[in-house]
Amino acid sequence: EKAGFDHFMLKEIHEQPKAYRDTMMGRIAEDGKSVTLSKEIGMTTEQIRGISRVHIVACGTAFHAGLVGKTVIESLARIPVETDVASEYRYRSPIITPDTLVIVVSQSGETADTLAALREAKRNGARVLAITNVVGSSVARDADDVITTWAGPEIAVASTKAYSSQLIAFYLLGLYLAQERGTIDQAQVVDIVEAMHRLPEQVESILEQAELFKGVAEAVSKHDNLFFIGRGLDFAVAQEGSLKLKEISYIHSEAYAAGELKHGTLALIEDGIPVIALVTQEDLYEKTLSNIKEVKARGAHVIGIANSGYEDEVAKSVDETFSIPRTLPLLTPALSVVPLQLLSYHASLARGNDVDKPRNLAKSVTVE
Ligand code: F6R
């Protein structure tokens, strides 16, 4: 059942290229010129044009996918987006109007807090769109519109392919909303769609080098504290990388917006502390590099994750560099998360933990 892999988590990491292809299938026109979600989303063009704000609500890893979703929808469809943790959303009297689109994201479709947030949104008259991996789940049944991620069953408690397929769902959704609202031109759609079609192979090329992450994971597993840093979408992925590591290796880590470090956290940087720095957002390269220099100067051991083509530049400022294939900045999270998943996996193994069933956690959280 593990198809020759030692753990479900590793198997599921390797299923991501297929999950991407399956989630895109039937939703991109054959000529690559448009995206269609008219089967999933029952809103008319008029209704889509009438959306004045979007709230993305989810828990844990799904929330981290929502952080990427915010940037995707804002940049493509130009609608203001707020992203909230479901257990907070319900109790902060969010401003929900009939022209608010609430997007709930849930792998299982059974998370109690997410379900309660969905119901609260509906009571307030919002339209609710669900992104879920389980057809017929509670979230899928209660939502007005559903985009299914076709990642297939996820058994490992730590989410991998469900998260990355949620990113694909957000790219499709962002493109679809943008087309309907007229905020994107066809050439841009073609560019993004072409780049999306390359993602599965690009993930495969990272997976071919999976063993590379073993050494660095073993070194990391000897520490009790570390940091992930990045800017923009790299910060969103850093948060997911940090959660994954904590969840299965039990190593404490924190994700920080790279530019925010010097406002307090820099005090925690001491000799030898590992800092994993994501440097994939072209317009932020220089800024992130200057933050890397700040932590290096305080003795941190910096592991850089950089775009292919820029890795030599990053290598000058860090101790170790891993490169990921180049794609559009907006799509990079679908690649940059993979090394972080592998790092967590190998760190957990190195610590002798039960990778697929970390202590204190359940796959589906049905209590609030
Ligand atoms: C972390 C993880 C959890 C879930 C969260 C929401 O790897 O799996 O953080 O993402 O409990 O679960 P779903 O997506 O089923 O609502």
212-234: burial string, b at 16+ Cβ within 10 Å, e else: ebbebbeebbeeeebbbbbbbbb
Residue in this structure with the two tokens 């560019």, named with its chain if needed: 191
Separation of alpha carbons 21 and 90, rounded Å: 34
257 lines ligand 1 (CB under 6 A): no
Rg (C-alpha) for the chain, rounded Å, is 20
- Contact call for residues 87 and 112 (beta carbons, < 8 A): no
Nearest residue (CA) to ligand 1, atom 11: 60
- Assign 3-state DSSP to the chain and report helix, strand, coil percentages, each to 5: 50, 15, 35
87 lines ligand 1 (CB under 6 A): no
pLDDT at 362: 82
As given in the structure block, the two tokens for residue 259 are: 């530019």
- Contact call for residues 81 and 74 (beta carbons, < 8 A): yes
Ligand 1 atom with the shortest distance to the CA of 157: 8
Separation of alpha carbons 151 and 200, rounded Å: 13
Strand partners for 254: 227
Ligand 1 atom with the shortest distance to the CA of 163: 10
pLDDT at 322: 95
Phi and psi of 218, rounded to 5°?
Answer: -65, -40
Strand partners for 127: 101
pLDDT at 304: 97
**Position 347: which residue type?**
A
Separation of alpha carbons 241 and 246, rounded Å: 9
123-146: burial string, b at 16+ Cβ within 10 Å, e else: eeebbbbbbbbbeebbbbebbbbb
At 285-300, the pLDDT tens digits run 999 999 999 999 999 9
Using CA atoms, how far residue 320 sits from 212, 215, 302, in Å, is 11, 11, 7
Residue 95's nearest CA partner among 71, 73, 63, 126 is: 126
Q: List the chain residues with pLDDT less than 50.
A: none
Distance 163 CA to ligand 1 centre (A): 9
pLDDT at 11: 97
Distance 162 CA to ligand 1 centre (A): 9
Q: What is the pTM of this model?
A: 0.98
Kindly list the catalytic residues.
363
- Contact call for residues 69 and 206 (beta carbons, < 8 A): no
137 lines ligand 1 (CB under 6 A): no
114 lines ligand 1 (CB under 6 A): yes
Ligand 1 atom with the shortest distance to the CA of 244: 7
pLDDT at 57: 98
111 lines ligand 1 (CB under 6 A): yes
Q: How many C-alpha atoms does 259 have within 13 Å on its Cβ side?
A: 7
Distance 291 CA to ligand 1 centre (A): 31
Testing ligand 1's pocket by substitution, the residue of 7, 13, 57, 61 carrying the most ligand atoms inside 8 A of its CB is: 61
Testing ligand 1's pocket by substitution, the residue of 68, 160, 365, 368 carrying the most ligand atoms inside 8 A of its CB is: 365
ipTM exceeding the 0.95 mark? yes
Residue in this structure with the two tokens 């790279």, named with its chain if needed: 258
Separation of alpha carbons 24 and 14, rounded Å: 17
pLDDT at 264: 86
